[in-house]
Amino acid sequence: MTGRMARTPKAAPTEDDGTPTGQPKLLAGGNPQIAKGYGDEPVQAYIAAMPGWKSDLGRRLDAIITRAVPNVQKAVKWNSPLYGVEGDGWFLGLHCMTRYVKVAFFRGAALDPVPPGPSKQKDVRYLDIHEDKPFDAARFEAWVVQASRLPGEKM
């Protein structure tokens, strides 16, 4: 024996809540806590922090929205990415839930066909996207195009 002791690898530094240092904290349901901000950067930070399969889905949804609405405005407010049209307001928001990603169409009751998820708010409709259930990208894109043409929530 040489007198040297085996070293135990150090654990990665973490915050008090167990989140790796420098990573966004995950709130209830795995929703990333991202500082309020406008533009693509905070939205991409949110998407990168979405846990597991939800991050890939977030990138896919963002790409569909960006393609369908070329001049889309983006922001993170209330720990959710929002998508809107300058002068017309926010038309869509994303939110991580424990087992799915919730898409809120703020004027969803006016879409054809109406998204399946009801809301307590008369105009809002939801689309819940689960990992193990089919996702109709073409229908989602059609809803995005329709929603972007309706008056949205104040920006």
Q: Is the pLDDT of residue 13 over 50?
A: no
Strand-pair category, 37-38 with 73-77: antiparallel
State the pTM of this model: 0.83
* Average pLDDT of the residues of the chain: 88
Per-residue pLDDT, averaged over 51-64, amounts to: 97
What domains lie within the chain, and their CATH numbers? 28-148 (3.90.1150.200)
Residues 6+ apart with CB under 8 A from 139: none
Neighbours of 146 (CB within 10 A): 17
Which H or E run contains 138? helix 137-148
Q: What is the pLDDT of residue 30?
A: 82
Q: Is the pLDDT of residue 84 over 50?
A: yes
Confidence of residue 26 (pLDDT cuts 50, 70, 90): confident
